Amino acid sequence: MSHINPCQTCGACCAHYQISLYPDESNAYPGGTVPVEYTVTLNDHSLCMKGTNLYPPRCAALEGEVGKQVSCSIYDNRPNTCREFNVYELDGSPNTRCFKLRGLTPPATIQP
């Protein structure tokens, strides 16, 4: 059975929130992965993805057209905030913010 990832035709969360990350997540630090040129410094303790500090927000790493066809150009190196924001939570319950962004009502059931 194949599962189509709705994120590939969405991208709403990448063009809605300010996506914050810790400075040491950037590749300016040893072990960091997020390309520093895609980030903006907010203060001593946090960065955000470039473009998500603007209005309307849109991450500089997002390619394509929101709601049609999108991809993350730094997918393998994206920050933890992005890794942790998914259609479903780890326990299988729906991510209500994701469903709301897509104009959908979250399903009542937990995904198997």
Q: Give the nearest distance from C-beta 22 to ligand SF4 in angstroms.
A: 14
Q: Give the nearest distance from C-beta 56 to ligand SF4 in angstroms.
A: 14
Q: What size, in residues, is the chain?
A: 112
Tokens 């994206």 -> residue: 78
Question: Is residue 47 near ligand SF4 by the rule CB under 6 A?
Answer: no
The torsion angles phi and psi of 26, rounded to 5 degrees, stand at -80, 155
Among 18, 27, 85, 88, binds ligand SF4 (CB under 6 A): 85
* Cβ–Cβ under 8 Å, residues 110 and 74: no
State the number of binding residues for ligand SF4 (CB under 6 A).
22
Q: Give the nearest distance from C-beta 64 to ligand SF4 in angstroms.
A: 10
For 65, the enclosing helix (H) or strand (E) is strand 62-65
The torsion angles phi and psi of 52, rounded to 5 degrees, stand at -85, -5
Binding site for ligand SF4 (CB under 6 A): 6-7, 10-14, 19, 49, 59, 61-62, 72, 74, 78, 82, 85-87, 98, 101-102
